[in-house]
Structure 1
């Protein structure tokens, strides 16, 4: 296995044959993890269906969790299971306490050996960032339950939070959290009720490879809830994040232009940045100073903070609705 050196010819077992340290280490780790997964059994089995339609069952109390996506790490902390997280992917940075969790590599290529050494009894994965074959490989090699969340709507984000809560013994906390999130969304809906959806483009990546949020995903659903009309629905593209030419963008001509910003970017900075781009001054949104920035983590991580993204978008799309009442 990668990361181990081959033994020298002087390293023999009792029968005089060369032993491969990497193989011994790997086998030992697998048996250690298997033994851990068999311990602490509980009286009844907890079973939930994940977003791949798989039944995930736990026969023991969850004490050690590895999270392989920033969104699932946020969910676990939000429902009071943060102390159970013993390993996380390298991008899990929220809440701030999550930065202290041991890393198990990038979410696209998690380090199996590191995960095994952490002896988890549950692994939580977001399949929109980890291919299915890796999910299958994780379960087969680590012999531990793997729960997969792959929401396509805001409602399925909430459903995933509740199912994870049930799986880790935090069902009531998860239900309370989801109830609070739904309440905040309902307040947004009340404010914008009866208003016509506003055509909007949400930028994922800037030119020269301009990319926007496509349709049929949870971000597109968040745009709809916030009172927006995703202009890329006119592209009839199946991609979640299609490439868009300037010519096509000019034809779509969104009234609002939103940059999904990584790091701190205010409205003035966003407007200044877009104005400097060749040809963008012809867009209605740019001519009318309707260019904004929204924290990308609010929009792109399918967790509790999606509600903050919806609220920000709604304020951008329908500012008068929020100015009417405090």
Structure 2
């Protein structure tokens, strides 16, 4: 393993072991079940994709095109970045080390697939994010390419499935399983820290009057972090418009966003508890809009802000840098987390437009590393996350966990 690995020591008694997955010739895949970190891949392998097509990969691919930033993020997280010959270029992927040295698969508008470029790579396998139109997928298949379109991620569990399936298709089964296991450990630690806490009312607004509702992985992040999503409770499915009456009636106590500038300044927002108390949580636009392992960064940021005392009372001990052979106490880690956040803000170009946000539906958002709220003040966390609040502070333990979330996936690089 190359790169730094930060280990969060949290007592996690009762976590069920991850089930093994059998492999064999021409193994068929549905949504990929959890795997053990010792599993090896076998080929040929088949998977039914989002178009309903049974896609067969005859041998381990040497070259892969990742159409969609979330697909690229997964390829990097499972240590398969060296196989990627084509992917989106720009602010949605600039945080992936070495990603600039690949063929850009999008046209100048940043979201229309440049099919000629994809075909020109002559890749062994093309993996398309779920947002890619079926027509584009069929065009690429018609040109002789093997194309797998990922299924829609409506939950964190769906993200696990996507990571494992991608690993099976590209020959990185063990690495995918390890990534999923690490992500699950972080998610479980957060769940257990907040499970007995009262859930504050939360709204994740988007431009055009849209909001994040049920059956979205972003809603799962908010609820897993201990928030009560008022849009989901109002019956909003997916990314749909939310009425001013619903906002006023349900009165969110916190607003989570990747772009504070999209929060309307007038009513009913101005009278909500969230705005009155300046309780806004700004999360990294790429990590929250791309269904991939880095969702743990906004997850821990939201949890640590909504429930700072509960997170602090979790059995956090030390954070170790195994590459350097050193360990840090919680207070030392908080300082490191703040430094890491400053570095991310200085080096990661995460200011993206709605058109280029990877999992952009009508209401999908974009944004960057900005100060949350209207006061211009915020608490920096790892991964370009900030909070702004006159309420409870983020805390040392929150910073430590946020640093873990960002670091878990910095470890697999070319």
| Interval of TM-score (by shorter of Structure 1 and Structure 2) | 0.7 to 0.9
CA gap of 1:250–1:65, structure 2 versus 1, over 3 A, is same
In structure 2, C-alpha distance between the alignment counterparts of 1:53 and 1:196, rounded to whole Å: 41
Check if 1:124 corresponds to 2:127: yes
Check if 1:66 corresponds to 2:55: no
Tell me how many residue pairs correspond in the alignment.
270
Aligned counterpart for 1:242 among listed residues 240, 243, 249:
240
Check if 1:254 corresponds to 2:256: no
In structure 1, C-alpha distance between the alignment counterparts of 2:234 and 2:264, rounded to whole Å: 24
Aligned to 1:167: 169
Could you tell me which runs of 5 or more consecutive residues in structure 2 were left unpaired when the two chains were aligned: 1-41, 315-396, 398-414
Higher relative CO (Cα under 8 Å, sequence separation at least 6) belongs to 2
Aligned to 2:219: 220
SS in 1 for 2:112: coil
- Kindly state the Cα deviation for residue 122 of structure 1 after the two structures are TM-superposed: 0.5
CA gap of 1:123–1:195, structure 2 versus 1, over 3 A, is same
Could you tell me which runs of 5 or more consecutive residues in structure 1 were left unpaired when the two chains were aligned: 1-42, 262-269
Q: Is the 8 A contact 1:211 1:242 kept in 2?
A: yes
In structure 1, C-alpha distance between the alignment counterparts of 2:263 and 2:63, rounded to whole Å: 46
TM-score, normalised relative to structure 1: 0.76
In structure 1, C-alpha distance between the alignment counterparts of 2:111 and 2:151, rounded to whole Å: 15
- Kindly state the Cα deviation for residue 213 of structure 1 after the two structures are TM-superposed: 0.9
Q: Is the 8 A contact 2:63 2:124 kept in 1?
A: yes
Task: Say which one has the larger Rg.
Answer: 1
CA gap of 1:256–1:76, structure 2 versus 1, over 3 A, is same
- Larger deviation, residues 87-96 vs 169-178: 87-96
- Kindly state the Cα deviation for residue 245 of structure 1 after the two structures are TM-superposed: 3.9
- Kindly state the Cα deviation for residue 259 of structure 1 after the two structures are TM-superposed: 1.7
Aligned to 2:140: 138
Aligned to 2:36: none
CA gap of 1:82–1:246, structure 2 versus 1, over 3 A, is same
Moved over 6 A (4+): none
- Kindly state the Cα deviation for residue 175 of structure 1 after the two structures are TM-superposed: 0.4
In structure 2, C-alpha distance between the alignment counterparts of 1:165 and 1:275, rounded to whole Å: 41
Residues 106-146 of structure 1 deviation map (CA, whole Å, 9 limit, x = unaligned)? 5742122111111111001111x212222223222333232
Q: Is the 8 A contact 1:74 1:94 kept in 2?
A: no
Residues 133-186 of structure 1 deviation map (CA, whole Å, 9 limit, x = unaligned)? 222232223332324242111101011101111111110011011101000111
Aligned to 2:369: none
Aligned to 1:28: none
Root-mean-square deviation (CA), in Å? Answer: 2.3
CA gap of 1:298–1:323, structure 2 versus 1, over 3 A, is same
TM-score, normalised relative to structure 2: 0.61
Residues 67-112 of structure 1 deviation map (CA, whole Å, 9 limit, x = unaligned)? 1100000100111110110011244333132133220215742122
Aligned to 1:45: 44
> Which structure: greater helix fraction?
1
Check if 1:179 corresponds to 2:185: no
